[in-house]
Amino acid sequence: MDSYHRQLLHRDSRTGRDCKFCLQFDPDFAKRNPIDRSVQEDQGDSAAAHLTEDGHVRHRIFEILRMHGKDLRKGETLTRSA
């Protein structure tokens, strides 16, 4: 394999667990698909540890909201930009 292609690390999703960060900050966490809630056990509760792209993106959204001091659990809503 050449150096331009990413080498995939095959991991078993059965070793995943729910992301504690998303559980704490996402009010709709229970409504997510189970695979979107899961993170790899050995990588902690980071966006990169999510098993799916949807889980990764949602995790990042809540990190950004937290940096800006917004808390969706208190009823604040996201405004549409377009």
Cα(67)–Cα(73) distance, integer angstroms: 15
Q: Is residue 6 part of a domain?
A: no
pLDDT (tens digit, 9 = 90+) per residue, 12-64?
A: 556 679 999 999 999 999 999 999 999 988 888 999 999 999 999 999 999 99
Q: Is residue 38 part of a domain?
A: yes
The structure tokens listed for 74 are 């208190």
Cα(44)–Cα(18) distance, integer angstroms: 10
Q: What is the pTM of this model?
A: 0.68
Find, among 41, 53, 33, 28, the residue nearest to 19 by Cα: 41
Q: Is residue 58 part of a domain?
A: yes
- How many domains, the chain? 1
Range of the domain at 43: 15-70
Beta bridge partner(s), residue 39: 17, 50
SS3 of 5, please? coil
